[in-house]
C-alpha cells in the first residue's frame, strides 16, 4: 500500500526507516525490525548523523527539519520527537510517498 511519509507510524514507519538504512527486514519471515520511532538508541544516531533538528510546536506536536542545502529542506511533524524525525528522514530519502507492505498497514487509512 502506498502511504504518505507524513502519516507513517508504528511498524510501517520503522520499516520505512529500515529501507532507508538498507536494513533488510522481511515481515512474516524476520520480524526483528529496529524500533527507530520509539527507541532513542536506534533513532538517535540517525538524527545526529543526518543533522535533523527537532523542536516542539505549540499544538503539542513536534517538528523535525533536515536541511540539505540553502535551497533544500525537509520538514515533518509528529506526536513525538522520534516520530517527527523519522518521518523527516524518510521523506528526505524517498519523497512524499512510499510503498509499504500490506501487512504493516492493517488498520491504516486506505
Domain membership of residue 106 (yes or no) is no
Domain membership of residue 40 (yes or no) is yes
Domain membership of residue 94 (yes or no) is yes
Domain membership of residue 109 (yes or no) is no
Is the predicted pLDDT of residue 109 greater than 70, yes or no? no
Domain membership of residue 79 (yes or no) is yes
pTM reported for the whole predicted model: 0.88
The cell numbers describing 106, all together, are: 492493517
Matching residue, cell 529500515: 18
Region 10-17: mean pLDDT is: 93
Domain membership of residue 107 (yes or no) is no
Is the predicted pLDDT of residue 28 greater than 60, yes or no? no
How many of the other CB atoms lie within 10 Å of CB of 19? 17
Residue 74 three-state SS = strand
Write out the residue range of the structural domain in which residue 21 sits: 2-101
What is the CATH number for 24? 3.30.2120.10
Region 25-49: mean pLDDT is: 85
The total number of structural domains that make up the chain: 1
Contact by Cβ (8 Å): 109, 9: no
Summary mean pLDDT of the chain = 89
Domain membership of residue 59 (yes or no) is yes
Amino acid at each position: 500500500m502506498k502511504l504518505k511519509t507524513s502519516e507513517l507510524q508504528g511498524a510501517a514507519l520503522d520499516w520505512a526507516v529500515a529501507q532507508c538504512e538498507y536494513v533488510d527486514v522481511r515481515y512474516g519471515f524476520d520480524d526483528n525490525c529496529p524500533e527507530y520511532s520509539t527507541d532513542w538508541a536506534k533513532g538517535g544516531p540517525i538524527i545526529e548523523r543526518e543533522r535533523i533538528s527537532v523542536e516542539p510546536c505549540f499544538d503539542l506536536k513536534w517538528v523535525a527539519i533536515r536541511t540539505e542545502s540553502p535551497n533544500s529542506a525537509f520538514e515533518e511533524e509528529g506526536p513525538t520527537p522520534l516520530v517527527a524525525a523519522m518521518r523527516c528522514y524518510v521523506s528526505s530519502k524517498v519523497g512524499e510517498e512510499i510503498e509499504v507492505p500490506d501487512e504493516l498497514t492493517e488498520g491504516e487509512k486506505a
